[in-house]
Structure 1
Amino acid sequence: MVQKPTIVILGVGRLGSALACLASGAGYTVAAVTAEHTETVAAFSKMTGFPAYIDNIKAATLGDVIILTVPDRMLPVVLAELVQGNQLRRGQIMLHTSGVMAGEILAPAREFGVAVGSMHPLQSFADIETARQNLSGSAFAIDGDQEAVAAASHLAADLGGRILQVPPQERIVYHAAACIASNYVVALLHIAERLLSRWTTDEQEALQALLPLVTGTLRNIAEQGTAAALTGPIVRGDATTVSQHLKALPVEFLSVYQSLGQATLQLAGDRIHQTQREIITNLLAMDGIQQKEGDGSHVK
């Protein structure tokens, strides 16, 4: 049996904490973790038993694989600290978990013979516990030097994850897709929540009413794919309902409805009769709602 490399995690926030605990559970030795504040280090070490440090340079000497889970703005800072510390060694692997940046940002570490790369989990982490629950089974976007890609791929597989080898030049597009699938879904649900709360006691009650619809939709997508799971007035070619929606919606939500309606038209493809497609296309045109401007309609 091949011995797994020791891991050091620099920056034990939500993701770093989850990675440390899950990697340990998968048979990796977590040789050190770091945090910015003494209280955080002490609390995490007490909770997990992992050796914890404030000193990134010292911690980095203890691992075969160094994973930087710090915020994006701190990546250059921590990298400069490690390079200037002059303690990195040949054969080590350094990875970061940024979604928008490729592994090449760690290139200065190569002067020590360190292979560099990235492994970004395609997942959202609201807190430490949900991070631990959600990380296993997630896809990881991986790129970098050959040795770094191999190490990241093995770790991702051991965590039960799927591997996405995203070309470095496509990393921003990848991150935009992740943003749409996560952040914008949250924003869309908040819009629906606000609309529905007009007839409920509060937004929380509205959200609870919406969640079965959302989970059912996600289940359909998982089983059938996005195109086959599409329902609603647009895919039915129901221009009358679309028109009624546009007339009834508060003005601040019209542009969102129209933009998503146009994307829905494309997804529906030839399932819509051409005549109905043209009518709906015109309804969703941005200049078709000018008469609503200034009417003062809004959601509480």
Structure 2
Amino acid sequence: MLAINFVGCGNLGKTLGRLITVHHLGKVEGVVTTSLKSADKAVEFIGAGKSCTNYSELPTADIYFITTGDDLIETVCNQLIAEAKVAKGAIIIHCSGSLSSDVLMQARDAGCYAFSVHPVKSFANPELSVEQFSGTYCGYEGDEAVFPTLNALFTGMGAILFPITKEQKPIYHAAGVIANNYIVGLHYLASECYRFAGVDENIAYQMTSMLMSEAIQNLQKFNHKNALTGPLQRGDIEVVREHLSHLTALPQIKAVYASLGEAIIPISDRAKQLKDKFVALFQEQSKE
């Protein structure tokens, strides 16, 4: 059975550790965090492992997960190699969406394998994440020699792995930010418009949620072109002009409306027929 350590153990680390334990995919040997209290909580949730606050306390392992924030990964890797009992041939893995496995170069130089696996999922609640992890897509890149081992580990958790190139990871990660984080932002902006128009705050929130749910349902059934509805899809330029005119009272929202409207012209046949007019309108309004 694979021996596994976790360095840093927030919601993502706890989720992976728990999945490894419940599916008997390996044995979590150690968890190191900056405080013993947080390490104890992680070990309790995972159901296995030794709580540590120093790298030197970690047991020897086959795999080391670095599940810290992105800005700490390279530093943590360097400290891990310098201070822990990391054997040659061990796998050092991080789960960043934007950083490549090259930030683990110190591990490679020490005779270890470097790998990156990024679960395309939000991890706000570890208990919920464990329940919902099956079917999660995970982008990977790194030293191909250890792919079979990590493929078995992650597919055992229920993940679906797909390859990504390290050069394009920032754009790949930006896609996830747009799809997950910015949809919350769009919800906020739409709710603000409703509230500005005099709609009750709770109704505005619920109505925005309902419309977004319907849009997601359409996307699950149809392609972008057939899922799109509204004035842009119909090519109704005068309605769009009226929207922009009144959104002058909400300049930041107006800028988003114009920018996003111009960006999605390619998925509407009718808007493409009127592309010059729509582009001129959006660009004119974005300058005001």
TM over 0.5: yes
Q: Are 2:187 and 2:209, in contact at CA under 8 Å, matched by a contact in 1? A: no
Partner of 2:253: 253
Task: State the AA in 2 paired with 1:158.
Answer: G
Residues 212-291 of structure 1 aligned to structure 2 (within 5 Å) = 212-249=210-247, 250-268=250-268, 270-272=269-271, 274=273, 276-285=274-283, 287-288=284-285
Instruction: Please point out which of 64, 67, 70 is paired with 1:69.
Output: 67
| Alignment pair present for 1:200 and 2:195 | no
Q: Are 1:33 and 1:50, in contact at CA under 8 Å, matched by a contact in 2? A: no
Partner of 1:16: 13
Using a 3 Å threshold, how does the CA distance of structure 1 residues 137 and 56 change in structure 2: closer, same or farther? farther
TM-score, normalised to structure 2, is 0.90
Q: Are 2:11 and 2:123, in contact at CA under 8 Å, matched by a contact in 1? A: yes
Q: Are 1:109 and 1:116, in contact at CA under 8 Å, matched by a contact in 2? A: yes
Using a 3 Å threshold, how does the CA distance of structure 1 residues 99 and 289 change in structure 2: closer, same or farther? closer
Q: Please give the per-residue CA displacement for 1:168-222, whole angstroms capped at 9, x wherever unaligned.
A: 11111111111111121111111011111233333x4422221121112111112
In structure 1, the residue corresponding to 2:89 is in which secondary structure? coil
- Using the alignment, how far apart are the partners of 2:65 and 2:84 within structure 1? 17
Using a 3 Å threshold, how does the CA distance of structure 1 residues 147 and 105 change in structure 2: closer, same or farther? same
- Using the alignment, how far apart are the partners of 2:44 and 2:97 within structure 1? 30
Larger mean CA deviation between 156-165 and 113-122 belongs to: 156-165
Partner of 1:186: 184
| Alignment pair present for 1:27 and 2:21 | no
- The count of residues paired between Structure 1 and Structure 2 equals 283
Q: Please give the per-residue CA displacement for 1:28-82, whole angstroms capped at 9, x wherever unaligned.
A: 22222222211112233334432222223432x4321111001112112211211
Q: Are 2:32 and 2:54, in contact at CA under 8 Å, matched by a contact in 1? A: yes
Partner of 1:54: 53
Partner of 1:298: none
Larger mean CA deviation between 254-263 and 223-232 belongs to: 223-232
Identity across aligned pairs (percent)?
A: 27
- Using the alignment, how far apart are the partners of 1:153 and 1:193 within structure 2? 42
In structure 1, the residue corresponding to 2:229 is in which secondary structure? coil
Larger mean CA deviation between 46-55 and 230-239 belongs to: 46-55
Unaligned runs of at least 5 residues, structure 1: 294-300
Q: Please give the per-residue CA displacement for 1:135-162, whole angstroms capped at 9, x wherever unaligned.
A: 3321111111113333332222122222
TM-score, normalised to structure 1, is 0.87
- Offset, 1:12: 1.1
Residues 53-202 of structure 1 aligned to structure 2 (within 5 Å) = 53-59=52-58, 61-85=59-83, 87-198=85-196, 199-202=198-201
Larger mean CA deviation between 12-21 and 158-167 belongs to: 158-167
Q: Are 2:55 and 2:83, in contact at CA under 8 Å, matched by a contact in 1? A: no
Larger mean CA deviation between 129-138 and 10-19 belongs to: 129-138
Using a 3 Å threshold, how does the CA distance of structure 1 residues 227 and 133 change in structure 2: closer, same or farther? farther
In structure 2, the residue corresponding to 1:8 is in which secondary structure? strand
- Using the alignment, how far apart are the partners of 2:9 and 2:163 within structure 1? 25
- Offset, 1:134: 4.2
- Using the alignment, how far apart are the partners of 1:53 and 1:113 within structure 2? 24
- Offset, 1:239: 1.0
Aligned Cα root-mean-square deviation (Å):
2.0
